[in-house]
Structure 1
Amino acid sequence: MSPPSSSLIPSSTISPRQALAGSLILLGLALQVLRLAGLPIALPAVSYAFWLAVLLLWPDLKRGNRRQAGILAGLGLVLTVVAVLGFGAEIAWHRLLDGNSYVVAMLVGVSFIGLIGTHRGHAAPPGSAVTGRRGTAGTWLGVHLLGAILNLSTVFMVGDRLKRHGELSLPQLLALNRGLSSAALWSPFFASMGVVMTLAPEMRFTTILVIGLPLGMLAGTLSLLDLSRRFDLSDVAGYSLSPKSLLMPVGMAALVLLFHYGLTPGLSIVSIITFLLPAVALTSNLPQGPLWALRRVRSHTLERLPAMRGEISLFLCAGLLTQGLSALIGAATGNQWALFAHFGAPQAVASFLAIVASAVIGLHPIIGVSVLASMLEVSGDRQTLFAFVALTSWAVGTSVGPLSGINLSLQGRYGISGTVMMRQNLGYAGALSALVVIAIVGLDTWL
């Protein structure tokens, strides 16, 4: 799951600086799509467009986002300079800003799904309110399945629908939190998967899906059992998922797999999502006429893309940290050192627990995952194990971390404290972590 985005900026109040930043983000996506089409465009051109947009939007970042992104970028630069001056590392300076550019391009591409629906953005997903355990289960499942495609926006769509029945209660908020965060276990449309596929290009996605999807369903079962035991759900309004709601997530997943295994087998899933989702979104608007489609794109560029400043800045700055740390470790050790001589189940479990612990104290899981990747040398099936560790630590860490994107967003939208969400999720996180450890051992044996 991505870090929180700020609220959309109405086009009537957007400044020229923000409009330019949105245009640069769109340019970065377009350049990446052209690269995937085979045109001779260097990756730094994509990276520079995104970084310039971040610089323009820097004053608009929330203080916490700005501090965290600034620390990551500063550490990355300092580590790079130390590698050069202290150990004589040779740095391709023009490629220094490329870290996580692929992921950012994918995130921007996924955002275009917002063009499917009403003119003003996401339409509320069809469904009706029910109460009791069935309603709470529907809330979790609706956010989980729809959020696997639409990410954080689904929480607001479902949450705002539930809010029609009154202020959201704690079990409703926990269902929203856990439904979305657990989708990181398997969804190819999540930022977590994009980061992992970039860091571990040899990972086997089908293996992750075979384990991650059932684990996600177990996370839902854990949530329902936990909430039923701790709260009286009889009068708690929930969300009833309709069959129509599933058409888009199922259809998009089928299209991605068709391209990956049939039409464009040479492209990674990250690359396919980058161009496929904007193409589908634009195609869905063309029946209204080219001018309508262009107006939708313009509105998206001016309003939605600048509002992505939080996640774009965090992922780019985390990529810079990874570049700097990798350069320093490589230069200091002659590329002969790794955190673990062998990455097996014990090492994977220790890494998972360390990243989750860092999330509890306030670090976004992308930081732990990036640092771990820079200190490992894994190949072949070990990349699949690393990918599983990264995805599971992301899913558990974002649910319990007080400063994770989902908890900060719930705090800003519905007034629930991130610390309260952390305390309420500790038991759930512990139980899910136990299942993750079992899955890690099983995956290691399987591989």
Structure 2
Amino acid sequence: MSIKETLSADAPADDNPSLRHAVSGMAILAGLLLQIARFADAPFPPDLIGYAFWLAAILLWRDLDPRTRLQAGGLSAVGLTLLMVGHFHYRADIDWSGILNGNTYVVAMLVGVSFLGLIGGRETPGGGRSSAGARGVVNTWLSVHLLGAILNLSSVFMVGDHIKARGGLGMAQILTLNRGLSSAAFWSPFFASMGVAMSVAPGMAYGGILAFGLPLALLSGLLTRFEMPRRYALADIQGFSLSLSSLLMPVAMAALVMLFHYVITPSLSIVSIITFLIPSVALLFTLPRGLAWPVRRTLQHARTRLPAMRGEVTLFLSAGLFTLGLSTFTQAATGNQWVLFDEFGVLEASVSYVAIVVSAVAGLHPIIGVSALASMLDPDTTNHTLLGFVSLAAWAVGAAIGPLSGINLSLQGRYGVNSYHIMKFNIPYALAMSCLVFGAIALLDATL
């Protein structure tokens, strides 16, 4: 979400929330606090986390975008149906009280990242300046990519609004914004894609992901740099360039996460560290205004900002229920004997990547393809780093080209560009990036 390429992280916050919105926001906040407490082995049933998040999802259901409602409803219905068939027909043993726990820690991470909004304003990327031509393309891509790796979809609106105010947004700038953000899914630990990848491949090595994901992201920028001047006259097209001071917060956050992961709390996953670290740092920034101020800002954030995250919260929870249902049904129906692939090597990883990207083009969120894939693999025999990389790469390319992806729907809603036009113009990019991904899969498999 999203953080992370998300569906509604930047939906307008309601300054006068209804009681329903306020209760849902407090339920999301409760889910986050419960998840953080679990890191310290607090003595309460972990199912409470899922109940809190699902309560919020139910309360906010009527506010969902119709497309998100259709996908989330379909995933939940299929997941529940498969669970019931598995239990009543195949006698599968199911922990009914825990069926709502799927993807809750990914949702908690997304909620934690949203607290970055407490650190200053999000409307203007301070210290930015205009640029033009091919240099403007590079600067715009870098600005969105570096900010977006931490702030996610907010960075697109920050930079896009700045460019629009100084001459309007053409397709060249739209594509640059699209690729700058979506390519961060290759490597950013703050993206929802990373949280999902770590959930389906908990044993993956982040160092290996970074070694291949970051170069792929940079190649995405390089492709954009050389493609745009060949397709568009860029001399009078505005771009945007960040100042070094604007990068201080993203770089500091990334450094803190790595410090905790490798030195202070090596036993915790990156997703877990982000979940508690970002809210803590954000609240520390508010302390100079008094001890009561962080409490007021947190409550305000819960009542107004968190309900606006309804899209990704609901979709990720529904995908978790779908994954549980599909895996339970598959195991029960086959006696734990059937898996999609006997081994997960270069060919299998490449086919899986293509299937997820194609499903994104067809209008499905990448999490659906990733979840379905993971549920049909044997976690004990599948290389988790390779599976995680496939998930991230398919998410990065699928989000860029998918007409119903969160970023493309957001660009359509904010700037009036048709998301199917974005898909059409991104086809050569997706094909080129896919060739690079296939090469990276082969290299990664050879080094494992």
Residue 259 of structure 2 corresponds to: 258
Note the C-alpha offset of 1:86.
Answer: 1.7
Q: How far apart, in 2, do the equivalents of 1:281 and 1:9 lie?
A: 19
SS in 1 for 2:363: coil
Quickly say closer, same or farther: Cα 1:6–1:138, change in 2 above 3 A: closer
Counterparts of 1:313-328 in structure 2, within 5 Å, are: 313-328=314-329
* TM superposition score normalised by structure 1: 0.97
Note the C-alpha offset of 1:123.
Answer: 4.5
SS in 1 for 2:185: helix
Give, as a single letter, the amino acid of the residue that structure 2 aligns with 1:9.
Answer: A
Greater shift, 122-131 or 104-113, is seen at 122-131
Greater shift, 378-387 or 340-349, is seen at 378-387
Q: How far apart, in 2, do the equivalents of 1:215 and 1:161 lie?
A: 27
Q: How far apart, in 2, do the equivalents of 1:98 and 1:354 lie?
A: 27
Residue 431 of structure 1 corresponds to: 432
SS in 2 for 1:339: coil
SS in 1 for 2:216: helix
Q: How far apart, in 2, do the equivalents of 1:23 and 1:4 lie?
A: 18
Residue 446 of structure 1 corresponds to: 447
Note the C-alpha offset of 1:293.
Answer: 2.1
Note the C-alpha offset of 1:299.
Answer: 2.1
Superposed CA offset, 1:39-86 (max 9, x none): 123321111000000000011111111111101111101111111122
CA contact (8 A) 1:6 1:309 kept: no
CA contact (8 A) 1:202 1:379 kept: no
CA contact (8 A) 2:133 2:238 kept: yes
SS in 2 for 1:238: strand
Residue 278 of structure 1 corresponds to: 279
SS in 1 for 2:131: strand
Residue 144 of structure 1 corresponds to: 145
CA contact (8 A) 2:343 2:382 kept: no
Quickly say closer, same or farther: Cα 1:9–1:250, change in 2 above 3 A: closer
Give, as a single letter, the amino acid of the residue that structure 1 aligns with 2:318.
Answer: C
Quickly say closer, same or farther: Cα 1:70–1:6, change in 2 above 3 A: farther
Greater shift, 158-167 or 65-74, is seen at 158-167
CA contact (8 A) 1:87 1:331 kept: yes
Superposed CA offset, 1:110-132 (max 9, x none): 000111003xx555343101111
Counterparts of 1:117-156 in structure 2, within 5 Å, are: 117-118=120-121, 121=122, 123-156=124-157
CA contact (8 A) 1:24 1:53 kept: yes
Q: Name which of 17, 22, 25 aligns with 2:20.
A: 17
Greater shift, 241-250 or 394-403, is seen at 241-250
Note the C-alpha offset of 1:333.
Answer: 1.3
Note the C-alpha offset of 1:4.
Answer: 3.1
Residue 164 of structure 1 corresponds to: 165
Q: How far apart, in 2, do the equivalents of 1:78 and 1:310 lie?
A: 23
Root-mean-square deviation (Å): 1.2
Give, as a single letter, the amino acid of the residue that structure 1 aligns with 2:36.
Answer: V
Note the C-alpha offset of 1:335.
Answer: 1.3
CA contact (8 A) 1:177 1:407 kept: yes
Q: How far apart, in 2, do the equivalents of 1:92 and 1:318 lie?
A: 18
Question: Unaligned 5+ residue runs, structure 2?
Answer: none
Q: How far apart, in 1, do the equivalents of 2:60 and 2:10 lie?
A: 11
SS in 2 for 1:129: strand
CA contact (8 A) 1:345 1:444 kept: yes
Identity level (%): 56
* TM superposition score normalised by structure 2: 0.97
Q: How far apart, in 2, do the equivalents of 1:148 and 1:403 lie?
A: 21
- Give the aligned length: 444
Give, as a single letter, the amino acid of the residue that structure 1 aligns with 2:74.
Answer: I
Q: How far apart, in 2, do the equivalents of 1:79 and 1:288 lie?
A: 52
Q: Name which of 86, 92, 112 aligns with 1:109.
A: 112
CA contact (8 A) 1:177 1:406 kept: yes
Residue 84 of structure 1 corresponds to: 87
SS in 1 for 2:383: helix
Q: How far apart, in 2, do the equivalents of 1:127 and 1:11 lie?
A: 28
Give, as a single letter, the amino acid of the residue that structure 2 aligns with 1:37.
Answer: A
CA contact (8 A) 2:99 2:324 kept: yes
Superposed CA offset, 1:268-314 (max 9, x none): 11100000000000001111212322232122111110000001000
Moved over 3 A (4+): 378-381
Question: Unaligned 5+ residue runs, structure 1?
Answer: none
Give, as a single letter, the amino acid of the residue that structure 2 aligns with 1:369.
Answer: V
CA contact (8 A) 2:186 2:213 kept: yes
CA contact (8 A) 1:4 1:406 kept: no
Note the C-alpha offset of 1:5.
Answer: 3.8
Q: How far apart, in 2, do the equivalents of 1:42 and 1:236 lie?
A: 56
Counterparts of 1:195-210 in structure 2, within 5 Å, are: 195-210=196-211
SS in 2 for 1:309: helix
Q: How far apart, in 1, do the equivalents of 2:379 and 2:275 lie?
A: 26
Q: How far apart, in 1, do the equivalents of 2:119 and 2:211 lie?
A: 29
CA contact (8 A) 1:76 1:321 kept: yes
Residue 29 of structure 1 corresponds to: 32
Greater shift, 282-291 or 207-216, is seen at 282-291
Note the C-alpha offset of 1:380.
Answer: 7.3
Residue 366 of structure 1 corresponds to: 367
Residue 178 of structure 1 corresponds to: 179
Residue 8 of structure 2 corresponds to: 4
Note the C-alpha offset of 1:6.
Answer: 5.9
Q: How far apart, in 1, do the equivalents of 2:344 and 2:438 lie?
A: 14
Q: How far apart, in 2, do the equivalents of 1:401 and 1:303 lie?
A: 29
Give, as a single letter, the amino acid of the residue that structure 1 aligns with 2:109.
Answer: M
Give, as a single letter, the amino acid of the residue that structure 2 aligns with 1:324.
Answer: G
Superposed CA offset, 1:398-418 (max 9, x none): 000000000000011111111
Residue 299 of structure 1 corresponds to: 300
Note the C-alpha offset of 1:8.
Answer: 2.2
Residue 418 of structure 1 corresponds to: 419
Counterparts of 1:369-388 in structure 2, within 5 Å, are: 369-379=370-380, 382-388=383-389
CA contact (8 A) 2:343 2:381 kept: no
CA contact (8 A) 1:125 1:157 kept: no
CA contact (8 A) 1:4 1:408 kept: no
CA contact (8 A) 2:149 2:184 kept: yes
Q: How far apart, in 2, do the equivalents of 1:288 and 1:6 lie?
A: 26
CA contact (8 A) 2:125 2:246 kept: no
Q: How far apart, in 2, do the equivalents of 1:374 and 1:381 lie?
A: 12
